[in-house]
Amino acid sequence: MLFQTDIAIVGSGIAGLSFAIKLAEARPDLDISIFTKEYPESGNTIKAQGGIAVVLNNEQDSFESHLEDTIKAGKGFNDPEVVRMVVEQAPQRLTELMQWGSNFDLSQNGDFDLGLEGGHSFNRILHKQDFTGFEIQTKLLAKAASYPNIKLFSRYFVTDLIIKSNEGVNTCVGIRALNLTKNILSEIKSKVTLLATGGSGKLFHNTTNPPVATADGVAMAYNAGADIADMNFIQFHPTALFEKNHGPLFLISEAVRGYGAYLVNNKGKRFLFQHDSRGELATRDIISASILKELSDSGEKCVYLDCRHLDQKKFADHFPTIVEYCRKKGINVETDTIPVIPAAHYQCGGIKVDKNAQTSIKNLFASGECSCTGLHGSNRLASNSLLEAIVFSHQAVKYLLPRLDKISRQPNSISMESRSRIAYQKGKTLEKLKDRLKALMTYELVYLTTPFEKENALKELKLMRGLIKQEFDKNCFSAEYFEIRNLVTAAYLVLEHAILFQKKHRPKCSTFS
């Protein structure tokens, strides 16, 4: 059983893996441990369809344009210095991904086949057909496996951070991890901890996120006293495949609209130009709000993506995963429109970090979707997420390398074995709480209701938190318990931040403007 490591990384997506690889390359003497709640392929990185935004053609495109597009998409709530740092590092970080094995599509003349997505002024999206995340994830896992000092622990649910306080300074000295195979909760000490745990999409009934997206990193950081910011900035992707009683929903990539698909109502009419002059190339927040307005007015359950006018051979070559999934669901994209609805997709806020991915707790870092870096503002520009993760993991490594040897090791802890598994009746209660949470947390609640309505929902969340604390004691070592605890904590933060934001900005920030 592992009780100590130099570096504890929670999460095995692009943020965690790139951090581990860079540290292993620079310091072969370090013990680097990656913990993942399920398996390395269970997170969001592997599901990314669109690609990674990088300015490569400076004659047409520019860093300045990418910066402006990012800030416009984020409604100006971005940190301009962070945006500039990220877009200007993009070519270097792309080169590293390629050196580690990732490949991207090329055009017939041998240049990168750069795609266009909503909110971008130029074609600047590198992709591998419609499975870019799979390409990156598999190559990073293979690269990480080549380093003997990187060890990956699957089915280890990290539940809490171990914090040491001294003269008003809180320092992270390790993690508590539940071995889901053996049902043992242990303390694992570390010099440095990186949270790369992904988002909170499972808060919502309609989501594109995998089952593991239960806000674990945000919740454990908040419980440890770390600063959390902008949790109300939840991005809904406008085009998730509409399926009844199905979750997570299959994502129809942003790149499909960038490729030329139309968004139409049940009468076959395009409606987005009524809301934004960019039509299908408007940003995700505007398109999601426009769809919900259309559905509210019409009483319909979904709208449709129309790809029938496109070159079908080229479309199938470019989006093989989407075409095949639709086919399995009885949808022929050559002759049928694709039913879609908005679904919770990306958490723009999270654990507050600086330019080096440092949180407000010493020796605790965060990268990827669980962090709030200042890049996205209120709405993420398409294909900026993979880029953000590799840039901030790079920044963390660069900051840590000259400082690691000054961080002292902590004494080992003793393993704590669970005395009882969760009782059946308690399990049913947890499921009821999770169902109620999904029914409560909707786009309308977060973005369209009044502060008074949000405060009523907040009261219900307080009752849920109290019930969880009362009903489930420390002997309840189950993933279900920790997940619902984390989800309710994240929901509370989303609404709390939404109320504060709405009171401050609502008069000049309308969803349908």
Helix or strand holding residue 125 (H, E) = strand 125-126
Q: Write down the residue that tokens 């002292």 correspond to.
A: 408
Q: Per the structure block, which two tokens stand in for 326?
A: 């639709």
Q: Report whether CATH 3.30.420.40 matches the domain 4-170+196-232+348-365+372-406.
A: no
Q: Which amino acid is at 397?
A: V
Give me the catalytic one of 27, 93, 284, 380. Answer: 284
What are the backbone angles phi and psi of residue 452, rounded to the nearest 5°?
A: -60, -45
Alpha carbon distance 176, 464 (integer Å): 24
Mean pLDDT comparison of 142-146, 440-444, 446-450, 482-486, highest-scoring range: 142-146
State mean pLDDT over 189-201. Answer: 96
Domain boundaries along the sequence of the chain:
4-170+196-232+348-365+372-406, 240-344, 419-508
- H/E stretch holding 52: strand 52-53
DSSP 350-362: EEE--TT-B-SSB
Read off the pLDDT of residues 473-505 as tens digits, 9 standing for 90 and up.
555 678 888 999 999 999 999 999 999 998 887
Using pLDDT thresholds of 50, 70 and 90, give the confidence band for residue 412.
low
Burial-class residue 326 by CB neighbours within 10 Å (0-12, 13-18, 19+): buried
The CA dihedral of 252, 247, 445, 268, to the nearest 10 degrees, is 40
Task: Reply yes or no on domain 240-344 having CATH 3.90.700.10.
Answer: yes
The rounded distance, in Å, linking the Cα atoms of 401 and 394 is 11
Whole-number percent of the chain with pLDDT over 70: 93
Q: Is the pLDDT of residue 256 over 90?
A: yes
What is the rounded distance in angstroms from the CA atom of residue 141 to the CA atom of residue 443? 35
DSSP string, 131-184: -HHHHHHHHHHHHHHT-TTEEEEESEEEEEEEEEEETTEEEEEEEEEEETTTTE
Contact (Cβ atoms closer than 8 angstroms) between residue 237 and residue 342: yes
- pLDDT above 90 for 48: no
Three-state DSSP at 236 gives strand
Give 297's DSSP letter: H
The pLDDT assigned to 230 comes to 97
* Three-class DSSP labels, 376-436: CCCCCCCCCHHHHHHHHHHHHHHHHCCCHHHCCCCCCCCCEECCECCCHHHHHHHHHHHHH
436 included as an active-site residue: no
Of 242, 244, 236, 202, whose CA–CA distance to 219 is shortest? 202
Give 222's pLDDT tier (boundaries 50, 70, 90): very high
> By C-alpha distance, which of 21, 2, 24, 326 is closest to 182?
2
Decide: pTM greater than 0.85. Answer: yes
CATH class of this structure's domain 419-508: mainly alpha
Please check the confidence at residue 427 and state whether its pLDDT lies above 80: no
- pLDDT, position 424: 44
- 154-172 pLDDT, tens digit each: 999 999 999 999 888 999 9
Cα–Cα nearest to 217, from 333, 372, 86: 372
- Residues 358-398 have pLDDT tens digits of 999 999 999 999 999 999 999 999 999 999 999 999 999 99
* Residue 470 to residue 474: CA distance in whole angstroms: 11
Residues 273-322: pLDDT tens digits? 999 999 999 988 999 999 999 999 999 999 999 999 999 999 999 999 99
